[in-house]
Structure formats: structure tokens, C-alpha cells
Amino acid sequence: MEVQWVGVEPPRLGPPHTAVRLILSMLLGIWSAQALEMSVGKIPFLEAVNGSTVMLPCTYSSCIGIKNLYFNWQFNDNGTMQKVCESVIATEGIEPKVSIYRDRVEFVGKNHHNNISIVLWNITFEDGGQYTCFGRNPKEKGKNHSAIFNLIVVDELRVVDNTLATIIASAVGGAIAAIMGFMLLKNFTLFVLSKLEEKNKECLVTSSGIDNTENGLSGSKADSKPTPKKK
């Protein structure tokens, strides 16, 4: 039986591509969760003294794994990106053969724990700047990602002024000590008062016994006079 809609428009179903878009969005969300990610750690900068040796950290991660992962390090030299090193990692656990293009650079990652860090020996002021760790994973259809690490080269490290922290710590410590002292004094005072109260009760009992004795009440030790004999 055919249903007729009188005076009311029949409900319209969404076009087929709407469901397709929804499915694609879900797939893209899952894909992005699996995507390659490069990381230089929670603190992406380092301040080091001229002439010292430093490590620039970088690790990669991918939920679906890697295959022929390409990575490189680049240095931003006044707007011009200069390649520091590069290599391809065939799969997890394989140590790559790294090509190095700058002096005093050593690859130390060895791909252990997805580590592709490098070391800069005897750094100079010219080494200071922005370094980019880049990766591209063919297993994720060429998905790529990069992370930036900043190296700051100085004559000497700055001395951190801890005066304010010391003052705050001293104030907090003093307040805690004052509270503890007050609690000890309070407990001691209550102890002394309780002892005084017990002593007062003992004095009252003793005084009551003495009064009864002096008044010749029953049970007292007062001298009793003999009853005169009748003649």
C-alpha cells in the first residue's frame, strides 16, 4: 500500500555521500592516531657553554610501525636550511647507516627505542640556532612530521637567583615551626592545668577532713571527756 502525504512534505533522506563523509571522517581520525610523530622531548631547547659537547634529542613513533623510514636533521642558517645528516631505517631494530654533512656531528641514536639523536662536539657560537628533526614513513603513504629544537650557545651559564625561593621557604618553615610551638605550648598548658586541678581536689578533701576533726564529729580523733558519776 502506498502512503500518501497530504499537506506535509515527505521526510527527506540524506544523500548517500553524507554517510560516506562520516565513514571517511572516522577513518581519518583513526589514521591520524596512527600517524608518524617526531619528538624532541618536553623541553625543546638547550643553553650550553661555548666549547662544550651537547646532544640534540629526537625520537619517532608510529602506531602501525615503520618501513624504510626516511629521517634527517637540518640546521636553519639565517633562513637557509642546511642538511646536517640523513638516513633510511628499513624497519624497527635496524641500525641505519647515516650520512653526515657537518663537522663535529655524530649520530648516537642507533635506532634503539626509536632514538635518532645526534651529538655536536666542541660547539661554537655559529652552532647556535634552530635544528629540525624530520621524518617520513612510506608505510603510512608518505606521512611526514617534524620537530624543532633550539640550541643557545653562551659564554657562561647564568646563575639562577634563588633569593625569592629562599625567602618563601624560610617564611613557610617559620610558620610551620610557630604552629608546632603553639600546639606544644597549648598541650603543656593543659597538662599543667589538669595537674593543678587534681591538686586542688586533694586539698579540698584534706581540708574537709580537718574541719570534721576540729568540730568533734563522729569518727574524729578529738579527746572525749569522761561522763561524771552520780553520787
Write the secondary structure of 21-72 as one string of H (helix), E (strand) and C (coil): HHHHHHHHHHHHHCCCEEECCCCCEEEEECCCCEEECCEEECCCCCCCEEEE
Place of cell 655524530: 106
pLDDT at 230 over 60: no
**Terminal CA-to-CA distance of the chain, rounded, Å?**
147
Give the model's confidence band at 204: pLDDT under 50 very low, under 70 low, under 90 confident, else very high. Answer: low
Q: Are strands 45-49 and 143-154 parallel, antiparallel or unpaired?
A: parallel
| Residue 119: closest CA among 106, 128, 100, 129 | 106
Contacts 24+ apart (CB under 8 A), 162-166: none
Q: Quick check: 81 pLDDT over 60?
A: yes
What's the whole-number mean pLDDT along residues 146-174? 80
Amino acid at 102: R
pLDDT range class, residue 222, cuts 50, 70, 90: very low
Strand pairing of 129-137 and 37-39?
unpaired
Q: Comparing 4-8, 112-116, 133-137, 206-210, which segment has the lowest mean pLDDT?
A: 4-8
Q: Residue 1 in 3-state DSSP?
A: coil
pLDDT confidence of residue 121: 98
- 0.75 exceeded by the pTM? no
Choose between 185 and 13: higher pLDDT.
185
Give percent of the chain above pLDDT 90: 49
Under the banding of pLDDT at 50, 70 and 90, the label for residue 100 is very high
Q: What is the pLDDT of residue 211?
A: 53
118-140: average pLDDT: 97
The whole-number pLDDT of residue 72 equals 98
Tens of pLDDT, residue by residue over 4-41, are 545 555 555 455 555 556 555 554 444 445 689 999 99
| Mean pLDDT to the nearest integer, 219-223 | 47
